[in-house]
Structure 1
Amino acid sequence: MLCSKKVSNSFSPCRFRETCLQVLSLCNSQTLKEGACVHSPIIKVGLQHDLYLSNNLLCLYAKCFGVGQARHLFDEMPHRDVVSWTTLLSAHTRNKHHFEALQLFDMMLGSGQCPNEFTLSSALRSCSALGEFEFGAKIHASVVKLGLELNHVLGTTLVDLYTKCDCTVEPHKLLAFVKDGDVVSWTTMISSLVETSKWSEALQLYVKMIEAGIYPNEFTFVKLLGMPSFLGLGKGYGKVLHSQLITFGVEMNLMLKTAIICMYAKCRRMEDAIKVSQQTPKYDVCLWTSIISGFVQNSQVREAVNALVDMELSGILPNNFTYASLLNASSSVLSLELGEQFHSRVIMVGLEGDIYVGNALVDMYMKCSHTTTNGVKAFRGIALPNVISWTSLIAGFAEHGFEEESVQLFAEMQAAGVQPNSFTLSTILGACSKMKSIIQTKKLHGYIIKTQVDIDMAVGNALVDAYAGGGMADEAWSVIGMMNHRDIITYTTLAARLNQQGDHEMALRVITHMCNDEVKMDEFSLASFISAAAGLGIMETGKQLHCYSFKSGFERCNSVSNSLVHSYSKCGSMRDAYRVFKDITEPDRVSWNGLISGLASNGLISDALSAFDDMRLAGVKPDSVTFLSLIFACSQGSLLNQGLDYFYSMEKTYHITPKLDHYVCLVDLLGRGGRLEEAMGVIETMPFKPDSVIYKTLLNACNLHGNVPLGEDMARRCLELDPCDPAIYLLLASLYDNAGLPDFGDKTRKLMRERGLRRSPRQCWMEVKSKIYLFSAREKIGNDEINEKLESLITEIKNRGYPYQESEDKLYHSEQLALAFGVLSVPTLAPIRINKNSLICTHCHSFIMLLTQFVDREIIVRDRKRFHVFKDGQCSCRGHS
């Protein structure tokens, strides 16, 4: 109204021009869009050629309508001067359109206009933001050429450019750009270092600033206090800065008070943050939001809600950032009810379309709700979803198990023109890892290379996990080689995945790469390496890692102790496993399961069942893994009725639903007990579709008890499911041989050969002096000493009159070769430990039992199923295979 009245009351062009200038000046000072109403009358009166008037109008457009409208007006201006160019260029810099700002600067020079200090300052700020050091250096040359190198504004801008972009220039030397370097210059350098994450350098410069006699102001402290609290410089640095700002007498304004509160919140000292907030009576929405956000960061959700109440009672209304923090609080405690309450308040104040609130809503619903429906609705309510919106949605779908949908959403995000960030890429790679989709992983890897996205730590680790999880260890190593930096997560992820793939030897080699990168093991990586040693059954490496756990103080971590129990159990050393278990302060379920499983697999059946009773007395609830070990123990110990009691008590007493593995153990238990028809009934009535494993289990039981018809039926069913498994043919052939039908056995083996099937090569390995030695069946050993030793042992058995029978193939078995090597290499008082990738054959079992009747050694053989501890002519399996 003010504008229209002034325009209508102006009659002469001169007075009209003055009135328009007054209107534009007023609207520019107060950023009022109404000033644009003079544009049309200016054109009608013919004053569009007035450069001074046009520049004022251009300034208003840039402030109120954005750079697009301002550029349109600029292009229509018949005349332009340095003020015109500078106004438009500054607007682009101010609105973070830095690339376009530098394009305008080039166009200005091309038009013949000479820039002034304000033009150059804006262009330099854009160079700093883009990291365009070479472009900035050229502008610096122009500054010198124009004789403006002593200009204070330009000097400060140059300090910012060189601090951010050129690491070779020491920051304090940059003060040469500024005459009499003042607090603004020093603070600019400190600010630039903070923004580029050079926090240590920022603090060092602050110290030099004090030494130079320049006292910091509130802006200096705001920048320093805004640094993250994970500097590695000690948590006390923030408190020192707080004490110094008091010493220097810096006024505690709202901006500074808010920075101090944020600093104490990051350091998990909310009591100090509240004390600071109460030092002055001034509060605003930003300060209150910082307090609420601080409580949320420190998992004090109740206190955050109480702070909201206090905020509203003080007459200050929450804004979008406040509600976003409160919704994040709901996500942190997974409280859907609390999140919905804040959502209703958001709707009441009309902030549901705000990008920050919308993103927090998507995150809250995806984390707290059992479905993705509300999360999708919240996402659809965001007018212009950004990368955080899309990433929250994609992560939510992946967390709910909809990995394929999350991949589709990622494609939609790209189609919408939103570029993913490192968290988006690591999230979608995590989904690919869960799906074990190597094709999708390679596509994403290709996209990362094509778009020249920096493979930062998070993305690199996610790629390593996806490749290693998909069984592509070489590609995972290749990614590690391309990463600029590796951390403990990189190597722990790889080691864990290699363990899952069964490549335990490669998992242990990761330790060497970690040492080369000077990355120290933590409790999680150490547990992975101990598990690798357990997988190989190598005692010496396990003991070395045990020693490291003591030196590093990780022996108190349950994850490490549990891995040690597992490792010693897998090496057949239950004495060491039990010693580690006893040292655990509070054994958890995994601890007890490891002990029970170890005792059962080592043939200590009564001890395993006794440990289960101790577990219950300790108040630790068993789970499905516990009962799997118990039923296995009963099967190995021929405790049929007790095993059945354990199985049926799972659902009845402990409300644990048996899985397919439990039914396999149950069939084995019944089969070993001779109740073959009952075992068949279990297979036919169980709530799972039978697989080849459960049929092979019953086939093996038929072999033990000579039931040929049922065995043939099981073999037929196995072959229907897995016709390429040579173990089925070998079990059936053994069944025929044991039943006195050798012709059928030979025909079965011939059929297997005709179909091109071969059993996996039988191998044994053992560790001696931290080195692993491998022995394969049907291979002649070139080591004459081993052959001679084995021959002498066989001769000794025959000379003593023991009933030794040569193997049918007349070749040494891998167990025999490993045993001969062990007798030669392992110290006399130490047990000989042999690991085998298949079941020990009856020939080798008999051979070792005979050998231990006159060789005073303990020989421990870990085959695919259990431990065999040979001593004084006896075996711990007591004849059970």
Structure 2
Amino acid sequence: MCLHVSKQFNSMSLSNHYCELLKHCRDTKKIHCHIIKAFRNPEIFLLNNLVSAYAKFDRITYARRVFDQMPQRNLYSWNTLLSSYSKLACLPEMERVFHAMPTRDMVSWNSLISAYAGRGFLLQSVKAYNLMLYNGPFNLNRIALSTMLILASKQGCVHLGLQVHGHVVKFGFQSYVFVGSPLVDMYSKTGLVFCARQAFDEMPEKNVVMYNTLIAGLMRCSRIEDSRQLFYDMQEKDSISWTAMIAGFTQNGLDREAIDLFREMRLENLEMDQYTFGSVLTACGGVMALQEGKQVHAYIIRTDYQDNIFVGSALVDMYCKCKSIKSAETVFRKMNCKNVVSWTAMLVGYGQNGYSEEAVKIFCDMQNNGIEPDDFTLGSVISSCANLASLEEGAQFHCRALVSGLISFITVSNALVTLYGKCGSIEDSHRLFSEMSYVDEVSWTALVSGYAQFGKANETLRLFESMLAHGFKPDKVTFIGVLSACSRAGLVQKGNQIFESMIKEHRIIPIEDHYTCMIDLFSRAGRLEEARKFINKMPFSPDAIGWASLLSSCRFHRNMEIGKWAAESLLKLEPHNTASYILLSSIYAAKGKWEEVANLRKGMRDKGLRKEPGCSWIKYKNQVHIFSADDQSNPFSDQIYSELEKLNYKMVQEGYVPDMNSVLHDVDDSEKIKMLNHHSEKLAIAFGLIFIPPGLPIRVVKNLRVCGDCHNATKYISKITQREILVRDAARFHLFKDGRCSCGDFW
């Protein structure tokens, strides 16, 4: 008898030993072999542990084989296999096991409901939940209730949440904190903040998790003061509480408050995590608080988060938004590990700071490092191509979007609509827009802006009306596009109506860009006195672009009085801006007042100011050819100048007369003509005529606005050569075809 007990005891001890090994050792098959050798008939609890171990290390086939060979099974055996399929999301097998079970308990139902909920299968989860209640409410437990509440929260299904809340009350679970937190979260995320607060107040016991949940919920709903009060009412706050508040302030645009709260958190000596640092760095970037951002960076260096990929990406983003691109590059280079978020942060930073070429280059580097772009990355690099007016590279990324399937993301499609619009391929832009399965306000605005920049005012206005008819709300950017289209077409009355409707009907407060468009609207139409009255009624003084626009129109219409006022105002605003000197010089030169021109030039020299040199560039065989006035550096200069001589002869025969007013030097007419003939855009166009095959448009980009003489000359060139010539200057696109320009000579 004693021997039998001893053997039984040893057998149980050995079983327990193997159970412990199965929990901690990954080599389940090896332990299984030892179990087969050690036991003729292993206990059921040991076999259950073996099934669980195989499933734990993703060996579900072996787990099922052990289960099928068990001489007898209990409910725990079935639940072990069921939960294994549930965790691995093997839904068909899980369903078969569930329906084959001789009996079920709350663990069985929890496994089934959790599996459906984990995959976001709302209908199946609700069906399983209701079936559980039908089979006996005694199976209902806090895990099932919290699972359904979390599912309702994620799916935004308030009706399901209300149903589950009713069960919480009916079956007496309202005092469970484990249920209370997801209940509060569900109401917060479905926008029922009052219900969230009521559920919170009715809980007899509250822990820090519930406080944190409500604080976060009040912040996604912008209830700043309520969340602030709740935060300061907390008896005990943990790091999550502080981080939730900092993140909430940041998400609601209260960046300064977020930075101040971070300082308070530091004084409390609380532990910070990647989310704390990420939120405060976002806040620093939001208000361009470079010094505070550097202080946070210094603090991060003293923590364990210096090499954290999430924090590193946030640092890159912060420095980029603070326009400290060199610091961003340094952080990026030092990152030991980079993911798509890190690369995208650097790429977007380059684009936002005007380094579009670097943005395209880093995209290529990212691919060479084996990182696949997401929709945001691809959309960002396409935007950089748009800024460069690089249609060829942009088209390559379009192909990439089609092959990868990322074209289905609206972020990518919108970027492509913008790209083709900014590159002058407005038909391609419209075609792509029409092919999109889903469009939003950004899509419409991109197309409207493309037509506006192309000078197609009537089409722009028709699109704008269509946008409104389809129920889309225009934003500030949309109105900038529409107003600029009215300005470039001289539609003063229509522009006035749209400006008034923006304020009164759409409740949009005008910003500087809208006022600049209106100044441009009056100025281009020659209504300079109206422009002056409009400026005097503005709530703030125009920016440099507004004054320059007025001054440019004064030069065109030769209004010295208002031009002088605009020039003086521009000089006060930006003393080192050469535009005021150049444009005022043009007015004096047109009137033959060369002494005043000389005085202005002397003033520029005394202040060490130099006019930005005009340059034009054209792309051929993936190489950019840049030209400046009288440029002789191109290896094909002899051919280019020869081509220009031939063109000039034919242009004169067609009736071309050089515009001497475009020359700001007191020299004889022959010298003026020579200077006009060698402007940068004419050199680039001649290069294109020589090397771009017939039938393809010649695309030229210029850093300044096209002068009157070059604009007129290019019309003649397009007629003589029967070529389409697309010139993108600093203000807009000009499509020259058959002796006419798309701008209607109004630019």
Per the normalisation by structure 1, the TM-score is 0.73
Task: Pick from 616, 624, 627 the counterpart of residue 773 of structure 1.
Answer: 624
Residues 1:783 and 2:640 are matched in the alignment: no
For 1:238 and 1:445, locate their aligned partners in 2 and report how far apart those are by CA, in whole Å. Answer: 46
Partner of 1:274: 129
CA-CA distance at 1:274 after TM superposition? 0.8
For 1:256 and 1:402, locate their aligned partners in 2 and report how far apart those are by CA, in whole Å. Answer: 47
Partner of 1:563: 415
Taking a change above 3 Å as real, the CA distance of residues 719 and 153 of structure 1, as seen in their structure-2 partners, is farther
CA-CA distance at 1:212 after TM superposition? 5.5
Q: Deviations over 1:780-806 (max 9, x none)?
A: 444332442233322441376454565
Q: Deviations over 1:4-54 (max 9, x none)?
A: xxxxxxxxxxxxxxxxxxxxxxxxxxxxxxxxxxxxxxxxxxxxxxxxxxx
Partner of 2:665: none
Task: Pick from 690, 701, 718 the counterpart of residue 824 of structure 1.
Answer: 690
CA-CA distance at 1:538 after TM superposition? 1.8
Task: Pick from 137, 147, 165 the counterpart of residue 290 of structure 1.
Answer: 147
For 2:43 and 2:558, locate their aligned partners in 1 and report how far apart those are by CA, in whole Å. Answer: 97
Task: Pick from 647, 671, 675 the counterpart of residue 523 of structure 2.
Answer: 671
Residues 1:869 and 2:735 are matched in the alignment: yes
Task: Pick from 189, 205, 210 the counterpart of residue 59 of structure 2.
Answer: 205
Partner of 2:163: 306
Q: Deviations over 1:586-611 (max 9, x none)?
A: 54333333233222221222222233
State the one-letter code of the partner of 2:155: N
Q: Is the 8 A contact 1:366 1:375 kept in 2?
A: yes
For 2:566 and 2:395, locate their aligned partners in 1 and report how far apart those are by CA, in whole Å. Answer: 44
SS at match of 1:869: strand
Task: Pick from 476, 481, 491 the counterpart of residue 629 of structure 1.
Answer: 481
CA-CA distance at 1:515 after TM superposition? 2.2
Taking a change above 3 Å as real, the CA distance of residues 355 and 587 of structure 1, as seen in their structure-2 partners, is closer
For 1:522 and 1:812, locate their aligned partners in 2 and report how far apart those are by CA, in whole Å. Answer: 46
Q: Deviations over 1:412-439 (max 9, x none)?
A: 2233232112222222222122122333
State the one-letter code of the partner of 2:443: S
Q: Is the 8 A contact 1:330 1:338 kept in 2?
A: yes
For 2:592 and 2:45, locate their aligned partners in 1 and report how far apart those are by CA, in whole Å. Answer: 99
Residues 1:717 and 2:717 are matched in the alignment: no
CA-CA distance at 1:550 after TM superposition? 3.2
Residues 1:362 and 2:228 are matched in the alignment: no
SS at match of 1:204: coil
Q: Map 1:471-870 to 2 at 5 A.
A: 471-483=323-335, 486-585=338-437, 587-769=439-621, 771-777=622-628, 780-798=631-649, 801=652, 803=657, 812-870=678-736
Partner of 1:147: none
Q: Deviations over 1:54-97 (max 9, x none)?
A: xxxxxxxxxxxxxxxxxxxxxxxxxxxxxxxxxxxxxxxxxxxx
CA-CA distance at 1:468 after TM superposition? 2.7
Q: Is the 8 A contact 1:672 1:701 kept in 2?
A: yes
SS at match of 2:721: coil
Report which of the two structures shows the higher radius of gyration computed on alpha carbons: 1
CA-CA distance at 1:614 after TM superposition? 3.2
Deviates more, 1:177-186 or 1:636-645: 177-186
Q: Map 1:421-440 to 2 at 5 A.
A: 421-440=273-292
Q: Deviations over 1:752-785 (max 9, x none)?
A: 122112233433333334x240414258444332
The number of aligned residues is 705
For 1:444 and 1:177, locate their aligned partners in 2 and report how far apart those are by CA, in whole Å. Answer: 56
Taking a change above 3 Å as real, the CA distance of residues 315 and 845 of structure 1, as seen in their structure-2 partners, is closer
State the one-letter code of the partner of 1:875: C
For 1:821 and 1:188, locate their aligned partners in 2 and report how far apart those are by CA, in whole Å. Answer: 79
For 1:273 and 1:649, locate their aligned partners in 2 and report how far apart those are by CA, in whole Å. Answer: 54
For 2:683 and 2:674, locate their aligned partners in 1 and report how far apart those are by CA, in whole Å. Answer: 16
Deviates more, 1:181-190 or 1:562-571: 181-190
Q: Deviations over 1:354-384 (max 9, x none)?
A: 111111122122233443x321232233333
SS at match of 1:758: coil
Taking a change above 3 Å as real, the CA distance of residues 516 and 735 of structure 1, as seen in their structure-2 partners, is same
For 1:516 and 1:711, locate their aligned partners in 2 and report how far apart those are by CA, in whole Å. Answer: 54
CA-CA distance at 1:833 after TM superposition? 0.5
Q: Map 1:352-391 to 2 at 5 A.
A: 352=206, 354-371=207-224, 373-391=225-243
State the one-letter code of the partner of 1:204: D
Q: Is the 8 A contact 1:538 1:766 kept in 2?
A: no
CA-CA distance at 1:880 after TM superposition? 2.8
- Work out which structure has the larger RCO, using CA pairs closer than 8 Å and 6 or more positions apart in sequence: 2
Task: Pick from 299, 317, 321 the counterpart of residue 178 of structure 2.
Answer: 321
For 2:458 and 2:554, locate their aligned partners in 1 and report how far apart those are by CA, in whole Å. Answer: 27
CA-CA distance at 1:571 after TM superposition? 1.4
For 2:47 and 2:556, locate their aligned partners in 1 and report how far apart those are by CA, in whole Å. Answer: 86
Query: Percent identity at matched positions?
Result: 29
CA-CA distance at 1:864 after TM superposition? 0.8
Q: What is the alpha-carbon root mean square deviation over aligned residues?
A: 3.3
Taking a change above 3 Å as real, the CA distance of residues 713 and 506 of structure 1, as seen in their structure-2 partners, is same
State the one-letter code of the partner of 1:509: K
Partner of 1:237: 90
State the one-letter code of the partner of 1:368: C
Gaps of 5+ in 1: 1-149, 164-169, 194-200, 230-235
SS at match of 1:417: coil
Residues 1:334 and 2:186 are matched in the alignment: no
State the one-letter code of the partner of 1:871: K
Q: Map 1:214-233 to 2 at 5 A.
A: 217=77, 220-221=80-81, 224=84, 227=87
SS at match of 1:854: helix
Partner of 1:107: none
Q: Deviations over 1:683-713 (max 9, x none)?
A: 1112234333322222222222222222222
Taking a change above 3 Å as real, the CA distance of residues 832 and 369 of structure 1, as seen in their structure-2 partners, is closer
SS at match of 2:547: helix
For 1:472 and 1:538, locate their aligned partners in 2 and report how far apart those are by CA, in whole Å. Answer: 26
Q: Is the 8 A contact 1:761 1:776 kept in 2?
A: no
Q: Map 1:59-458 to 2 at 5 A.
A: 160=23, 163=26, 170=27, 172-173=29-30, 202-211=56-65, 217=77, 220-221=80-81, 224=84, 227=87, 237-244=90-97, 247=100, 249=101, 252-269=104-121, 270-275=125-130, 277-278=132-133, 279-280=135-136, 281-346=138-203, 349=204, 351-352=205-206, 354-371=207-224, 373-453=225-305, 455-458=307-310
For 1:406 and 1:188, locate their aligned partners in 2 and report how far apart those are by CA, in whole Å. Answer: 49
For 1:822 and 1:714, locate their aligned partners in 2 and report how far apart those are by CA, in whole Å. Answer: 38
Partner of 1:130: none
Partner of 2:663: none
CA-CA distance at 1:313 after TM superposition? 1.6
Gaps of 5+ in 2: 1-12, 71-75, 659-669
Q: Deviations over 1:132-179 (max 9, x none)?
A: xxxxxxxxxxxxxxxxxx97666655665565xxxxxx5544668987
CA-CA distance at 1:668 after TM superposition? 1.2
SS at match of 2:636: helix
Q: Is the 8 A contact 1:836 1:862 kept in 2?
A: yes
For 1:689 and 1:182, locate their aligned partners in 2 and report how far apart those are by CA, in whole Å. Answer: 87
Per the normalisation by structure 2, the TM-score is 0.85
Taking a change above 3 Å as real, the CA distance of residues 850 and 340 of structure 1, as seen in their structure-2 partners, is same
Q: Is the 8 A contact 2:82 2:97 kept in 1?
A: no
Partner of 1:146: none
